[in-house]
Amino acid sequence: ISKFNKWSDLLQDCDCIIHLAARTHILNDITKSPIDEFRKVNRDATILLAKSAEQLNVKRFVYLSSIGVLGDTTLEGRFNNNTKYNPKEAYAISKMEAEKGIIKIADSSNMEVVIVRPPLVYGPNAPGNFHRLMRLVDLGLPLPLGGFNAKKNMISLDNLCDILIRTITTKLPKYNQFVV
């Protein structure tokens, strides 16, 4: 997606875009800056797509971001739409920058922007942290989780898909951020 720039051919007569593409991992290549690699896809390609969508009069742009843009913890009990940005890692910083970029585009246009910030997504063949947790469970050993106080939210892939479908079919105010 970071090398593609012919969005006008694909977006003709399109009413809504659900943008899911993201770079989520940087392998241990010491010749590349992780933040730069994340920004190429997560920020720059997203903003280019949103600009193209706005120029072609796409009515709604739905962006799958990350709860990580708000940080690792909150003192407010739960993250909400008033929680300030506080990303800690390069991935979350790039997603925050993309959010700010598409919101700026929406501010000067009629395109609606919906930002969905899911927590950990679980489902069949889930990668990342959920996959690691499932591998630990498969070992059959007791998990040393008793000392952890932090509550973690998760969402099933099916429920996330349902939310995304509803962002297409539901009338929404101009600015929306779903923290699920």
8 A C-beta contact, residue 171 and residue 59: no
Catalytic residue among 63, 85, 91, 175: 91
* 63 is a catalytic site residue: no
C-alpha 149/C-alpha 80 separation (Å) is 20
C-alpha 93/C-alpha 102 separation (Å) is 14
Residue 131 vs residues 8, 27, 63, 67, 151: alpha-carbon distances, Å: 37, 17, 24, 18, 18
Question: Which residues are annotated as catalytic?
Answer: 91
